[in-house]
Structures are given as C-alpha cells and as structure tokens.
C-alpha cells in the first residue's frame, strides 16, 4: 500500500465528506459562515488527518493523526445534532449521517490498533 488513497478508511471518509458537502447545500444561507463552515471543516479534517498520519514515518506518530481524525468525526456528529435541533435536517437524515460518522470512527479505531501493534513490533 503506497498511498493513503488506498486505505478503506480514507475512502469512507471521502464519501462522508462529499455527502456532508451535498447535505449542507440545503441549509439556510445565514448558516454559511456558522454551521455550514463548521460541519464541512470537521468532515474534511477526517480525511486530512488520515492522509497526514499515513505520511508519517513512525507508527506512534501516525496514530496521533488518526486519533485526531476520530475526534473530527465526533465533532461532525455534534454539528449534525445542531442541524437537527435547528430543523435543517430530520431525524432520518441525522441517523444516516451519524451512522456513517460512527462507521468511520470504528474503522479509524481499527487502524489505530493496527498502528499500535506495528509500533510494538518495531520497538
């Protein structure tokens, strides 16, 4: 595996990022620099951190970026809760996106565990 784009977890984050970008197009224009900006930034950060972590030389250092990616997925869920509370999305859409974020988090957790095992082997 040579590129972060080969990672299934990055592919999942990419789909999530694109779906969130499409979703926010239906939000109120007054939210452009508030909620829309925040939810898009957090969803982009998931893949960005996966890419940066993959580019790190040491496994332990790479794991830190995957931990950040997991945090960004959790942050995206919180922004989606705000969208739900403000009635920009309904419960069904929220649950779909929440599940996608949680699936991303599970995949990230798996990769973090892999990295930690690799770090133990290399020591």
Q: Which domain does 65 fall in, by range?
A: 4-122
- Are the beta carbons of 46 and 72 closer than 8 angstroms? yes
Q: What percent of the chain has pLDDT over 70?
A: 97
CATH assignment at residue 46: 1.20.1440.60
Lowest mean pLDDT among 54-58, 82-86, 96-100: 54-58
Per-residue pLDDT band for 123 (boundaries 50, 70, 90) equals very low
State how many domains the chain has: 1
pLDDT (0 to 100) of residue 63: 92
What average pLDDT does the structure give for the chain?
Answer: 94
What is the Cα–Cα distance from 111 to 119, expressed in whole angstroms? 12
Task: Name the band, by pLDDT with cuts 50, 70 and 90, for residue 53.
Answer: very high
What is the per-residue pLDDT across 11-30, written as a single tens digit (0 to 9) for each?
999 999 999 999 999 999 99
């Amino acid at each position: 595996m040579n590129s972060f784009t080969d990672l299934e977890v990055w592919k999942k984050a990419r789909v999530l990022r694109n779906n969130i970008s499409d979703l926010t197009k239906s939000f109120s224009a007054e939210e452009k620099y508030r909620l829309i900006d925040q939810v898009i930034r957090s969803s982009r950060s998931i893949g960005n951190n996966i890419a940066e972590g993959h580019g790190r030389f040491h496994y332990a250092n790479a794991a830190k970026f995957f931990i950040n990616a997991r945090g960004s997925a959790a942050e995206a869920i919180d922004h989606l809760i705000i969208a739900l509370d403000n009635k920009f999305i309904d419960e069904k859409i929220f649950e779909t996106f929440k599940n996608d974020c949680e699936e991303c988090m599970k995949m990230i957790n798996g990769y973090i565990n892999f990295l930690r095992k690799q770090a133990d082997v290399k020591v």
